Amino acid sequence: MSLVVATTLLTIISSQEIVTADDSGWTSVAYSPVEISINQFHSWEFEFINGDGATQPCAQLTINGGMPSHNHGLPTEPAITPATNKGRYVLEGIKFHMPGTWQLVLNCEDNERNKHDFTITFDI
């Protein structure tokens, strides 16, 4: 049990949470590295929470991104897979190749086929 607690603490210290809401009362929580280095591969985690506060799976989940002001997408094709943490997803193989304002767009289709779209905007 203490091992689990330690792991959880480590995760909280080394990541930051970006919370975004959609119209239906769902929120996405993105766990990103606190310091994102340019041109370095890193991983993010995501979880989706409904209006009752329960973590929800996505029947379909896609993630795209890029720099809107530069009109280009991501320089890599990151892979999204379910994480070992219950209900979370891990995005691996993502990197950003220049400083500026980036967006990640998450499209989660839930088990009732409702679509939940989130746009996360952040500066590097």
Q: Which residues of this protein are in contact with Cu ion, per CB under 5 A?
A: 67, 70, 98
Please identify, using beta-carbon distances, which residue of 58 and 74 lies nearer to Cu ion.
74
Min separation Cβ 75 and Cu ion, Å: 9
Cα(88)–Cα(81) distance, integer angstroms: 9
DSSP 67-114: EGGGTEE-SS--EEEE-SSTT-EEEEEE---SSSEEEEEEEEE-TT--
Min separation Cβ 95 and Cu ion, Å: 13
DSSP helix, strand, coil percent of the chain (3-state; round to 5): 15, 50, 35
Terminal CA-CA length for the chain: 36
Please identify, using beta-carbon distances, which residue of 67 and 106 lies nearer to Cu ion.
67
Please identify, using beta-carbon distances, which residue of 67 and 80 lies nearer to Cu ion.
67
Please identify, using beta-carbon distances, which residue of 19 and 98 lies nearer to Cu ion.
98
Closest residue to Cu ion, based on beta-carbon distance: 70
